[in-house]
Amino acid sequence: MQRLRELSRRVEAVYGEIADTFSGYQQASGLNCRSSCGECCTQPTIEATVLEMLPLALHLFDQGKAEQTLTQLEEFPEVSGCFFYHRLSFDGKQGQCSVYQQRPSICRVFGAAGYRDKLGKASLSVCKTIKQDRAEKYQQHLIMLTEQPPPMMMTAKEQVNQLDYDLGSKHYPINQAILLALEKVLFKAYYSNFTDDQQIA
């Protein structure tokens, strides 16, 4: 269990760096998200690794909510988007994240960020809502790509996932990733308690 906690602290340290880099770019460029917009959170295609969800799994465990959340996740419809997204409008486009501090890296970089196209050139990925809201700024930054390249999404995700190959090498739908992370934490906690009991006996 101690190893998972140390690994989680390392993941959170990288998350701090990612937040500074990507939030800084989005604010400076004006390509930041609309207030209370959560349209991307309703998409069932969002993926994360078990490693990315480890801080959240440990947070829920420490709050005594791990087993309850695991049960709820097992019954949650796959097409409903992120389990931790609280809808504030009927269509789901308005809402908020209930675990914002522990959200995975994809949630920290999404909105406006860089990626490599098929030819290896830097390109700009911007969500459709931001493109609509800030069309002029989006066009400006497309023109300025060479002079002011955006931070790369893949680089940020690799920063996290290289911390542990086993937990960071495979991507899952986001709800499955947190379910697997919770299972790992609960198994380690049970095993640690069992070992402690054996030593006391």
Per-residue pLDDT tens digits for 54-72:
999 999 999 999 999 999 9
CA 120 – CA 122 distance, rounded (Å) = 7
Q: Is residue 79 part of a domain?
A: yes
Report the interhelical angle of 174-200 vs 50-62 (nearest 10°): 60
Q: Is residue 52 part of a domain?
A: yes
CA 186 – CA 58 distance, rounded (Å) = 9
Give the global pTM. 0.88
The mean per-residue pLDDT over the stretch 25-49 comes to: 90
Q: Transcribe 113-136 into DSSP letters.
A: EEEE-TTS-EEEEE-HHHHHHTHH
Q: How many separate domains does the chain show?
A: 1
Q: Is residue 200 part of a domain?
A: no
The pLDDT score that the predictor gives to residue 113 is 93
Q: If residue 112 lies in a helix (H) or strand (E), which one and from where to where?
A: strand 112-116
Torsions phi, psi of 150, nearest 5?
-75, 160
Q: Is residue 201 part of a domain?
A: no
Q: Is residue 199 part of a domain?
A: no
Range of the domain at 186: 2-193
Q: Is residue 35 part of a domain?
A: yes
- Could you say which DSSP state residue 41 is in? G
pLDDT at 144 > cutoff 60? yes
Q: Is residue 44 part of a domain?
A: yes
The pLDDT score that the predictor gives to residue 10 is 97
The pLDDT score that the predictor gives to residue 199 is 43
- 24 and 150 Cβ atoms separated by less than 8 Å: no
The rounded Cα 112 to chain-centroid distance in angstroms is: 15
Q: Is residue 151 part of a domain?
A: yes
